[in-house]
Amino acid sequence: MARICLITPGHLSTNPRLVKEADALAAAGHDVHVVACRYSAWGEAADAAFAARPWSRSAPVPFGPRAPLPRRLAQKARRSLWRARLKAGHSPPPAALAAALHDASAGLAAAAEAVPADLYVAHYVAALPAAARAAARHGARYAFDAEDFHTGDLPDRPEHAFERDLIGRIEAALLPGCAYLTAASPGIAEAYARAYGVARPQVVLNVFPTAEAPPSPSPQGGADPGPSVYWFSQTIGPDRGLECAVRALPLAASRPHLHLRGLPAAGYAEALQALAREQGVADRLHLLSPAPPDRMVGLAAAFDLGLVGETGVTTNRRIALTNKQFTYLLAGVPSLLSDIPAHRDFAAEAPGAAVLYPADDPAGLAAAMDALLLDPASLARARSAAFALGRDRFNWEIEQSRLLAAVEAALP
């Protein structure tokens, strides 16, 4: 049995990938401890659902609105100071780079150092210096899970150059020292290998346990009103293909309803509702409240089709596989996938359960909706194919073996 510490700058409820990892490692007999943050009231309440998990947690590191005012001011001051020094040409160590990147970096490092472990695993770049520092203190090893290609997650515009350079400097300094790297899609794995000259990360897809799946496929969803197209994320915001989906609604002969689950970005719900009114479909756009990660598969099963409408606005968005299509498969729901490189490759592995449409093309999306919603037999076949793929291939029971093998190889 090894002692393993997982570190994230997010809430547990916003990082289901880490939760699955913690569960799998604990089930394999390891002593697992998690260091996480708190920054939102919704996330803090949702995190209570993990109290009975078979792993331990540090007190969450507060930042932003959930940090006491003196601490929040100190975090902001530290971040501003290091950003100013970087812009002045200084070359600080990774811990200082992390302070310039994220308000919680120092708190994460302190919390991780307080946990003796054999292996520290960082999720997201802000946690990487904390993992490396804790590993150095305890004579241990550290690893990194790339849920995204982080330097490619920002638009390629001048105003993002500083942030992108900051992320790149942290990763370049610390990734070569990792005991292993994992990545959430083949495209992300290849991008990291090219960018830093490291061994290609082991791909561990964002799939989910079969225990969360419905007992059997259904020929159609039962959501009311319907027919229904479903999308979910932590944040309902721009550049995710949602504007295209609203514009597709009046073009679809099947008259579908679009159901979106998540917290709207500031002003975005109003803008999307205004677009729906302009398109004459205000009554067919529905905004749903967030829900805990372990309910997402069951909730998705109620809808006819699932939407994954990434526009490919950034390098990462073109090569990432989000958790949506895997949630839909396990729920027995076919996916409508925008035709970007990662989705094109994935559709070839999900025959009969995924339909590609030209990215950001309302007419193409409407046609994809109608192809299934106007043909009940085709919809039933697609839902059966999705369910079978979730049960037999794209699930956590299968995928976790890759993670466990990487961990075992890294341990003494």
Convert the pLDDT of each residue in 329-348 to its tens digit.
999 999 999 999 999 999 99
pLDDT bracket for residue 42 (50, 70, 90): confident
Instruction: For residues 153 and 110, give the distance between their C-alpha atoms in angstroms, rounded to a whole number.
Output: 27
CATH number of 3-207+396-410: 3.40.50.2000
CATH of domain 210-392: 3.40.50.2000
The answer to whether 225 and 257 have CB atoms below 8 angstroms apart is yes
**265: confidence class by pLDDT, cuts 50, 70, 90:** very high
One-letter amino acid for residue 247 of the chain: R
Q: 275-306 pLDDT, tens per residue?
A: 999 999 999 999 999 988 889 999 999 999 99
| Sheet of strand 202-203: strand arrangement | 56-57, 31-35, 3-7, 119-123, 141-146, 181-183, 202-203
Q: Where in the chain is the domain with CATH 3.40.50.2000?
A: 3-207+396-410, 210-392
Q: What is the pLDDT of residues 8-40, one digit of tens each?
A: 999 999 899 999 999 999 999 999 999 999 998
Q: Which residues contact 217 (CB under 8 A, 6 or more apart)?
A: 332, 383, 384, 386, 387, 388
pTM, two decimals, is 0.91
Quick: pLDDT tens for 214-257.
999 999 999 999 999 999 998 999 999 999 999 999 999 999 99
